[in-house]
Amino acid sequence: MNIQDITQEINGYIEAENSDAIRIALAEVHPSDIASIIQNINPDKQSYLLDSLDPETASEVYFELDIDQREEIITDLDEEKIADIADEMASDDAADLIGELPEDTAETVLSKMDPEEAKDVEPLLLYPEDSAGGIMQSELVKVENDTNVRDSINWIRLIADDVEEFHGIYVTDNKDKLLGFIPLQKLIIANPSSSAQSVMEELEVSVTPYIDQEEVANIFKKYNIVTLPVISDEGILLGRITADDVIDVISEEAEEDIYQYAGLKEHLHPIYTPTYERIKVRSPWLLLTLVGELLIALIIIKVFEPTLVKVAILAAFMPAIMATGGNVGLQTTTIIVRSLGMGTIKTKQIFTLIASEMKVGLALGAICGILSAIIGILISYNEPQVLKLGLAVFLAMLSATLATSFVGVAAPIILQKLNFDPAASSGPFLTMFNDIFGSLFYLLIAMLIL
Amino acid sequence: MNIQDITQEINGYIEAENSDAIRIALAEVHPSDIASIIQNINPDKQSYLLDSLDPETASEVYFELDIDQREEIITDLDEEKIADIADEMASDDAADLIGELPEDTAETVLSKMDPEEAKDVEPLLLYPEDSAGGIMQSELVKVENDTNVRDSINWIRLIADDVEEFHGIYVTDNKDKLLGFIPLQKLIIANPSSSAQSVMEELEVSVTPYIDQEEVANIFKKYNIVTLPVISDEGILLGRITADDVIDVISEEAEEDIYQYAGLKEHLHPIYTPTYERIKVRSPWLLLTLVGELLIALIIIKVFEPTLVKVAILAAFMPAIMATGGNVGLQTTTIIVRSLGMGTIKTKQIFTLIASEMKVGLALGAICGILSAIIGILISYNEPQVLKLGLAVFLAMLSATLATSFVGVAAPIILQKLNFDPAASSGPFLTMFNDIFGSLFYLLIAMLIL
């Protein structure tokens, strides 16, 4: 049965207010498909559907819902039910859920949760959402260094139900200071009477909780690991981050960057997001850019009109100059943003980078400029000042690519220095900057030459 | 000691041709840092440095090198050494390495490899690089369903050295057909005399080898798993894909998309990539776009010059119209490309999607158009045909946003249908299309009205 058919069936049960039937109908459906179904039904009924699920299923469905929608949906449930759902989640997920609730609700939910679970969740609420502490979970398996392998396995037997997925156990001293790690594949074949300390591997890498999640992702990439311990400044074991969390982080960050290029701050579903919402999210950047472009119009009218009246064909090359400058700037800023993200360049190399990119920009501008000048001369050969026009096109192309190469390097690096996302330098901002420079440089050069 | 100091030290040893000293100096350095050092030295000496490392270290360094550089560096090594390096790799990595060699070298290397290793690698060479088969590894732990837990653990003891990281064992029937999976955390506490069949979990999900790696990544995201089995159409277990491979895939795919937006086909390091290479990679898209923009120039000169001579200030609003159309198109195509990637829309919904996006485009165009018309009228109030100019600006803005909304939906969906990457519809192509439509529509409308 496909999702559309199930959705139709569910819609029937919702009308009949038959939550048992809903639960039964969705028993064999994957949580992410249930999330799709929820997002496909009438927004007024979405909370009812989530509420109809048993807490365990609801806990698996919740994070498959779009981030904006789920906050609204969950807030409509009563706090007892939210607490039941949070109890079923791993501590990192429960902390994220509670972090998304209004403050009052969050406190009530925390107080209604199973005290054992709440104890795991509470410390996690202290860390920023996009930090190592924000994505780690408290549930893990640890033993003291003098525990032997047999007792370690017995300990696993005792707590196996509470810790969801683990691939090894952490070894600490008697003050909870992290000493090492024993992968299960090693523990399973170790001598039962050996001490944990003698079997463990030294840790290659660990992080502290306030490190940014993007840096955590880079560590997973660099070390090819599936789990990473989080420790305090004093070396106390606080939690662990697993590869599946990192997969989510990388997807989110990549998506964020891609949206930023288009001046969007979130995903807008082309069918399900209400039209009004889509217009509201998309218009600010458009209007901001438009202001810059209308400024161009103002300057052209006030300053360059006499030149344009004399040589109207100047206007013909404005699109070519703006597009070339814009494309070179986009290439440059993309290269710089990615290099910063991968850590292969440093912000203090700014002058080397500007020089290096402007050299390439100069070459690209020269190639495009010569080509445009030649074509310009050929197609307007009967104009009186055709050679001067060609020269103006060439020089304008050159200055536009130099200017956007400069800004393409400087803008992301300065943003990074100021702790903003360097990717914000691309997209509509770059288009606007480039259009202003491209068109005005060109007309200025033309006015001086002609 | 930081990387720059080590690089300097290594440069000295390279001049003295002292490969032992190099090996000792790098003994404690992380493979990805060794890769940075290699990329920082004279390109002529890079192969010598890699050759100086022992095969195991070299195998860890290789995939940390930039994809374009590593092919050149490895090809300079003799085939015996390449085979030794490949022997140290997991089968999926060895297959990737061999896939990157010239055909002759590849065959020789395969023939010089340890026959056991080569047997694991050879079948993997059959699958496309970006398929499930291309990223899976053959090394895994499997037992037949009637094996008991004790014997399974003994089997792990025997082969633990050959399989690098595993978090569970696969259970097959006596024809190698996959039946289930036992996570190590379950195996370690299971009754030693239970059969594998009785302890195993049923598999939630598996893939066949020709599935695209992007789909594999979506499965990891959806199911929150750290390992995924690959089976033949008949259900025979062929290999497994691990979360660290998927992390690499997601990063690569995201990077590819981002580069495509900027008309780049690969990463260009702003300092280390040679200038000539950077110009060569960046110019094709620029020139292609430029051709489109020069076509605009040609049409303006041949068709619209009389209009422009009469009303020169028309040119003042060209940047605003092109930028608004371009930005709306970029937003639309970004939304569609991401929705296709996430699987939340289907290509067969193309008409619904076009209608839905054009509705939003119409609204955005109207907002921007009215604003521009008002400002246009205000700043050129003393022109004779100012109201008509305002009307032309408004109508042009509206048609530009409608046209780019249409193309922003249609282009990625058609590309997807034709099995191209839908992200190719964004970037320079979109800029060019939009500039052509934006400027020419505008001048056409103006010519008709004025």
> Can you spell out the DSSP letters for A20-59?
HHHHHHTTTS-HHHHHHHHHHS-GGGHHHHHHHS-HHHHH
Please check whether residue B257 touches A, CB under 8 A: yes
For the CA atoms of A339, A343, A347, A353, the dihedral, rounded to the nearest 10 degrees, stands at -40
Please check whether residue B125 touches A, CB under 8 A: no
**Chain B residue with Cα closest to A333:** B262
Q: How far apart are CA A36 and CA A61, in angstroms?
A: 9
Residue A207 three-state SS? strand
Token pair listed for A332: 């440059």
Q: Which residues of chain B fall below pLDDT 50?
A: none
Q: How far apart are CA B339 and CA A353, in angstroms?
A: 35
Q: Do A297 and B375 touch (CB under 8 A)?
A: yes
Are the beta carbons of B400 and B441 closer than 8 angstroms?
Answer: yes
Burial of B152 (0-12, 13-18, 19+ CB in 10 A): buried
Nearest to B315 among A248, A261, A308 (CB): A308
Chain A residues touching residue B149 (CB < 8 angstroms): none
Please check whether residue A318 touches B, CB under 8 A: yes
Are the beta carbons of B428 and B405 closer than 8 angstroms?
Answer: no
What is chain A's mean pLDDT, rounded?
88
Q: Do B359 and A428 touch (CB under 8 A)?
A: no
CA-wise closest residue to A289 among B146, B289, B322, B268: B322
CATH number of A3-127: 1.25.60.10
Among 3.40.309.10, 3.30.310.50, 3.30.70.2970, 3.10.580.10, name the CATH number for the domain at B142-261: 3.10.580.10
Chain A residues touching residue B356 (CB < 8 angstroms): 270-271, 275
Q: Which CATH architecture has domain B3-126?
A: Alpha Horseshoe (1.25)
Task: For an interface test with B, give the residue of A60, A185, A401, A437 to mutate (most B CBs within 10 A).
Answer: A185
Residue B195 three-state SS? strand
**Model-level pTM?**
0.76
CATH number of A275-449: 1.10.357.20
Please check whether residue B224 touches A, CB under 8 A: yes
String of b and e for A393-411 (b: at least 16 CB within 10 Å)? bbbbbbbbbbbbbbbbbbb
Sign (positive/negative) of CA torsion B420, B423, B427, B432? positive
Chain B residues touching residue A64 (CB < 8 angstroms): 222
The complex's ipTM? 0.75
A310 residue type, one letter: K
Q: How far apart are CA A384 and CA A118, in angstroms?
A: 82
For the CA atoms of A181, A182, A183, A187, the dihedral, rounded to the nearest 10 degrees, stands at -170
pLDDT tens digit sequence for A56-73: 999 999 988 877 678 888
**Chain A residue with Cα closest to B310:** A309
- Looking up tokens 């008002």 gives B374
Q: How far apart are CA A248 and CA A391, in angstroms?
A: 52
Q: How far apart are CA A363 and CA A402, in angstroms?
A: 9
- Looking up tokens 């850590």 gives A343
Q: Do B345 and A270 touch (CB under 8 A)?
A: yes
Are the beta carbons of B133 and B239 closer than 8 angstroms?
Answer: yes
Every domain range in chain A assigned CATH 3.10.580.10: 142-261
Min Cα separation B160/chain A (Å): 8
- Looking up tokens 């040679």 gives B274
- pLDDT band for A235, please (50, 70, 90 cuts): very high
Nearest to A255 among B322, B338, B431 (CB): B338
Every domain range in chain B assigned CATH 1.25.60.10: 3-126
Catalogue the E-assigned strands of B257-368. Answer: none
What is the reported pLDDT for A63? 86
- pLDDT band for A1, please (50, 70, 90 cuts): low
* Residues B13, B19, B23: CA angle, nearest 5 degrees: 95
Task: Give CA separation, B65 vs A116, B33, B50, B62, B308, in Å.
Answer: 47, 10, 11, 6, 55
What is the reported pLDDT for B1? 62
Please check whether residue A289 touches B, CB under 8 A: yes
The phi-psi region of residue B175 (left if phi > 0; otherwise alpha if psi is between -120 and 50; otherwise beta) is alpha
Task: For an interface test with A, give the residue of B96, B170, B273, B318 to mutate (most A CBs within 10 A).
Answer: B318
Min Cα separation A238/chain B (Å): 21
- Looking up tokens 């060479």 gives B125
What is the reported pLDDT for B241? 95
Please check whether residue A62 touches B, CB under 8 A: no
Are the beta carbons of B450 and B307 closer than 8 angstroms?
Answer: yes
Please check whether residue B93 touches A, CB under 8 A: no
Q: Do A339 and B296 touch (CB under 8 A)?
A: no
Token pair listed for B87: 């022997």
Q: How far apart are CA B169 and CA B184, in angstroms?
A: 7
Please check whether residue B362 touches A, CB under 8 A: no
* Residues A75, B338, B96: CA angle, nearest 5 degrees: 120
What percentage of chain A exceeds 70 in pLDDT? 99
What is the reported pLDDT for A65? 84
CA-wise closest residue to B207 among B195, B198, B197, B219: B219
Token pair listed for A397: 């192309």
Q: How far apart are CA A99 and CA A128, in angstroms?
A: 10
Every domain range in chain B assigned CATH 1.10.357.20: 275-449
Task: Give CA separation, B351 vs A28, A271, B364, B409, B414, in Å.
Answer: 33, 11, 20, 9, 12
Min Cα separation B97/chain A (Å): 17
* Residues A272, A274, A280: CA angle, nearest 5 degrees: 130
